[in-house]
Amino acid sequence: MEPAVLIQIDSNPNCLPMDSLVFQPQTPPRAISEIRMTREGTEMWCSVTGVAESGNPCSAMACLIEDSGDGACHLVFGGAWGLRLKTGDRDWDPQLRNGTGLRMALDYS
């Protein structure tokens, strides 16, 4: 059995805070660099990174979890300040001026 994943996001400039949530992974978390998301009504691939407490990029991770009532899905999580999504080829901006901040993501596809 994989160790539980605890997600708690304190107040930060990347995304809204979130009280602690605990997830039980069915697979080991692995680093990812892209996620398929619906943005502005269009489904697209986005680059994704975690955001560390320093504001610097860190690994975004994904693992399979069981979601009560909805079956299995992938949990995508990042650093202390959550996740950062972007489209296009621009570099990650350490000042968080490009992209969109998220606390975490659930992927049911």
Q: What is the pLDDT of residue 108?
A: 78
Q: What is the pLDDT of residue 94?
A: 62
Q: What is the pLDDT of residue 71?
A: 80
Q: How far apart are CA 73 and CA 12, in angstroms?
A: 27
pLDDT band, very low/low/confident/very high, at 96 (cuts 50, 70, 90) = low
Q: For 82, phi and psi rounded to 5 degrees?
A: 85, -145
Give per-residue pLDDT as tens, 52-77. Answer: 999 999 999 999 998 777 788 999 99
Q: How far apart are CA 67 and CA 44, in angstroms?
A: 24
Question: What pTM was computed for the model?
Answer: 0.89
